[in-house]
Amino acid sequence: MSLDQQLRDGLAAMGLPLSAEIQTRLLAYLALLKKWNATYNLTAIREESQMLTQHLLDSLSVFPVLQESALAGKRWADVGSGAGLPGIPLAMAQPELDMSLIETVEKKSAFQRQAKIQLGLSNVSVVNSRVEALPGGQFDAVISRAFADLAEFIGLAGHLLKQGGRLYAMKGQLPEDEISRVPPGWVVVDCTRLSVPGMDAQRHLLVIERP
């Protein structure tokens, strides 16, 4: 199966109607990631079809469970962004989203900057910094994908939220032990199992806020 057909089928299975233009840009991002990965080892996944499933579709799987009010016109941060995942696919799929990619490793931030330029991602900002060093109260939402356990995620990134903001943690199996260790003053308000076409492993999205 061609990559473009795999992407179309995956988006259809998730009920995510993205335009042909956005799909083309997603595939261009995937091609750029593969090119850079050969030299800079940005991800352990090498084969494009697996990259599409485990990076693109996995990143986009949060959209069907997020309300529109959480997206359009909001300031988001992707903490420990790595190769720009999930931030770049999310920013492509929702152009009205203001996405900051926060990453400490320079070679990964360099890739993000190249992707921003080459793919014309005007709604993406690249921040090469430790998350705990950034000023607080900037974002409506902060998302992480395989970044840290929940307590560490909250400790490092919780200060970035505006009043009423939310943390979104993308996880594999339901991390019940991590949930039990959420720091006082924070509450897991939602936990949704995500559907990622072509992926057998469990995926969950946890939503955390200060009541």
Q: How high does pLDDT run on average in the chain? A: 96
CB 100 within 8 A of CB 168: no
pLDDT in tens, 163-180: 999 999 999 999 999 999
Q: Which residue has the tokens 């000023």?
A: 135
65 φ/ψ angles, rounded to the nearest 5 degrees: -105, 0
| pLDDT tens for each residue of 56-100 | 999 999 999 998 788 889 999 999 999 999 999 999 999 999 999
Fold topology of 3-209: Rossmann fold (3.40.50)
Whether the bond between 86 and the residue before it is cis, its omega within 30 degrees of 0, is yes
Residues 51, 117 contacting (CB under 8 angstroms):
no
Domain limits of the chain? 3-209
Q: Which helix (H) or strand (E) holds 37?
A: helix 20-40
Q: What is the DSSP string of 44-109?
A: S--SHHHHIIIIIIHHHTTGGGS-GGGTTT-EEEEET-TTTTTHHHHHHH-TT-EEEEEES-HHHH
Q: For the segment 47-56, what is each residue's pLDDT rounded down to a tens digit?
A: 999 999 999 9
Helix axes 20-40 and 3-14, enclosed angle (nearest 10): 120
Task: Give pLDDT, residue 48.
Answer: 94
Token duo for residue 105: 């490793």
